[in-house]
Structure 1
Amino acid sequence: MGLPLRMDNIHAPTVPAGPSSRPLANGNEKHLSFAELQAKKENLEAELKALSGVLDSHGVNMETPLTTADGFPRGDIDVAQIRTTRARIIHLKNDYKGLMNAIEKHLHEHFASIQDTEDVTPTTTTRAEMLGDSIPITLGEPFAKVNSVVANSPAESAGLKPGDEIRNFGYVNKGNHDGLKKVAECVQGNEGQRILVKISRRNESSGRQELQLNLTPRQNWGGRGLLGCHILPL
């Protein structure tokens, strides 16, 4: 009878860690507005934070060995999930570097145009204003709907109601929710921390109402799960 197969390369990501997992909107980053670049940056930062939380929940980091001393997979941790999470982190960090380069280039071009037209030097205040909350963000298309909300749950405390359509759940949106898997990942990685949830709610008097809610996933609230609500994909 043969011996079990050793996994000497178990630390390697499950997918290649090339230059980028998503080549910055297929190379269209230079065509995005500054507001869109900032939104992408915030989404990447939030997802990286959530993925780091996933590793923390397993008690590991990017360098923790996943094999025993004799080279076999450890049985006390979910090796497959950890490898997948590490691979995603590597890809997102590469994406983040490229995105920051695009933002820096955008800023240089913006201030260069100011100097050309007004012959003034950009001040720290001007740069801060560009990075501030005054930047208009376009509404994302809804990708999920709240089906039910449990009384006294974190979802109810945040203000979620049945029928609410979700446009953004932290860094999760219509383009990346992956059948709501990313919502579960975001919740798991942000237990005890506020998640910004952007919703659209039907209002009999004014049509639809756009709201931004702060939802804090937590245990021991008296029911099952970290949210206390049921969400369905649209």
Structure 2
Amino acid sequence: MVGTNLKAETFSLMDKRTNLESEMNTIIDRLSQPGGPGLSGNLLDSEGFPRADFDIPSIRADRNRLSVLRNDHKDLTEKINQNIEVLHSGKKTDHISSSPTINTGSNSSMIMSSSSMDVDIKAANVPFAFVDEISESCPAAEDGLQLGDQIVSFGSVDSRDNLLQRLAAEAQTNRDHPVTVVVLRQGALVDLKIVPRQWQGRGLLGCHFQLL
């Protein structure tokens, strides 16, 4: 019963996170429109005065809201990860206490049922970064990556550890070769093949990742 409740709680948290992601994407799209201020662009002119062509109060409100959403997203993701670890730990205990004769039909059914739960839990596909800047006609954009996409995996990179260094190394190692990239876009997983390559701009991808 405890496991069932924890699983239900986990999926509820995942739904909340999806709603946060949707609002984050809306704000990112609004700030990143052509001619817009971007997520961190300067709001002052060359003389240090507020730019007259920007609605600065709205921009600041959007940026502040995005910061709050990012923190909430991080907290939700940590809670989801904790729940997943507990659920996986519970399944390991179940396996240890079950019959050791694994070749019977009943045991095979038990293993298949457990595998089904694994699929459900792994469907969390926790993103570790999102695209906060991307240049037009850059390799990443031409291969399907979009502003606001949340990175679940990038080649062999699937965690925050030394993220920027690992992403750069992954792109360099796979220069001119396709890299499998999984992103979360509007609540749905999207599989991409991105080829890091030389282009007229900087880097091999032409985009920037922000930690979640």
> Normalized per residue, which structure has more helix?
2
How does the TM-score come out when normalised to structure 2?
Answer: 0.42
How does the TM-score come out when normalised to structure 1?
Answer: 0.38
